[in-house]
Amino acid sequence: MCVRRCVITVGDLGEFGVVNRITGRLPHSRAVILGPGDDAAMVSAPDGRVVVSTDLLLEGRHFRRDWSSGYDVGRKAAAQNLADVAAMGATPTSIVVGLGLPADLSLAWLDALTDGFGDECATVGASVAGGDVTRCDLVVLGVTALGDLGGRSPVLRSGARPGHVVAVAGRLGYAAAGWALLEAGARVDTPPLQEAVAGHRRPCPPYAMGPQAAELGASAMLDVSDGLLQDLGHVAEASGVRVELDPQAFAVGEPVAAAAKELGADPLEWVLTGGEDHALAAVFPPEVRLPSAWQVVGRVVEGDGVLVYGREIGRRGWDHFR
């Protein structure tokens, strides 16, 4: 079988001693034919098509070093990009990373960041193929993830049709609950509260459910990065339909419920509008028998927008420019 290849420009890695330190700590998956050390990396693309997603994380905007370790930030940065690839129905194969780092950043923090990248990639059999580094006043991370469809058609946002069901795989509300606890300076001294904070620091996307949904015949899918209501609004708009959610269908995790009790908040608010859990939300034809990992939470009907409790409540969620 002929293995197709993809060449990716990743910067002149040899110019940076710090990059040599980073790349020396990273394992490589079988998808990476040529890793860091040259002007570009080369990864296999057996399907002949490459799924690509990229994200930018800024210190103080997407993470805080006093709240998250370098390892946490590495896991989170890799996860949110790998989840985007899985949400297209693809299997992640590799990432490339651009780093802006302050001159006084400790090597221990950098090593932990690198380990976070590598360990999160390892959960899906991917690896870091390369990247670039520059000096910056704040920590800035630009991560691009690549994936392989394995012969499947990509699952888009535009395929939802009236009569289809809406289902979710993965956790919802954990990252928002953890952020709220940290923001409030709450005392996090019980396992449920600690798990909520961990959900903010390191999301746990259900990567395998993306290709599974594609195999099952999902008509639309995306990862929940900006809040379920807001993200399903993208599906509704792209597909020209209305999404109706049943609030009674959502399972509120114990850490989310515990955080809500601690702060006097509504846990369902975090479940519906909290971002950065990177769960997968997908739409399926009604005849599809869904595995237990998928929880049906609504349906698709004619119309537009997203309804909860039978009423339009807008696309509340994360706004990158607010």
| Sign of the torsion angle spanned by Cα atoms 218, 90, 207, 96 | negative
The DSSP H or E segment spanning 232 is helix 228-239
Q: How many CB atoms lie within 10 A of CB 254?
A: 11
- Tell me how far CA of residue 66 lies from CA of 47, 55, 72, 182, in angstroms: 42, 22, 11, 10
Beta bridge pairs of residue 44? 5
Tell whether 225 is in a known binding site.
yes
Tell whether 200 is in a known binding site.
Answer: no
Is 319 annotated as ligand-binding? Answer: no
**Is 294 marked as binding a ligand?**
no
Q: What is the DSSP string of 110-135?
A: HHHHHHHHHHHHHTTT-EEEEEEEEE
> 53 among the known binding-site residues?
yes
Query: Is 39 annotated as a binding-site member?
Result: yes
66 annotated as belonging to a binding site for a ligand: no
Element (H, E) at 228: helix 228-239
Which has the closest alpha carbon to 193: 259, 106, 247? 259
Q: Is 132 labeled as ligand-binding? A: yes
For residue 95, give the nearest of 68, 155, 138, 55 by alpha carbon.
55
What DSSP element (H or E) covers 98? strand 91-101
> How far is the C-alpha of 181 from the C-alpha of 7, rounded, in Å?
43
| Residue 276 annotated as lining a ligand binding site | yes
Helices 209-216, 70-86: inter-axial angle, 10-degree rounding = 10
Q: Which of 83, 82, 75 is nearest to 126 (CA)?
A: 82
- Is 223 labelled as part of a ligand binding site? yes
Check whether 55 is labelled as a binding-site residue.
yes
72 is in an annotated binding site: no
320 annotated to a ligand binding site: no
For 66-86, what is the HEC assignment?
A: CCCCHHHHHHHHHHHHHHHHH
148 marked ligand binding residue: no
Tokens 């990509």 -> residue: 154
CA angle 99, 51, 73 (to 5 degrees): 30
Binding residues for substrate: 62, 276, 318
Binding residues: 39, 53-55, 62, 84, 131-132, 157, 223, 225-226, 276, 318
Binding residues for ATP: 131-132, 157, 225
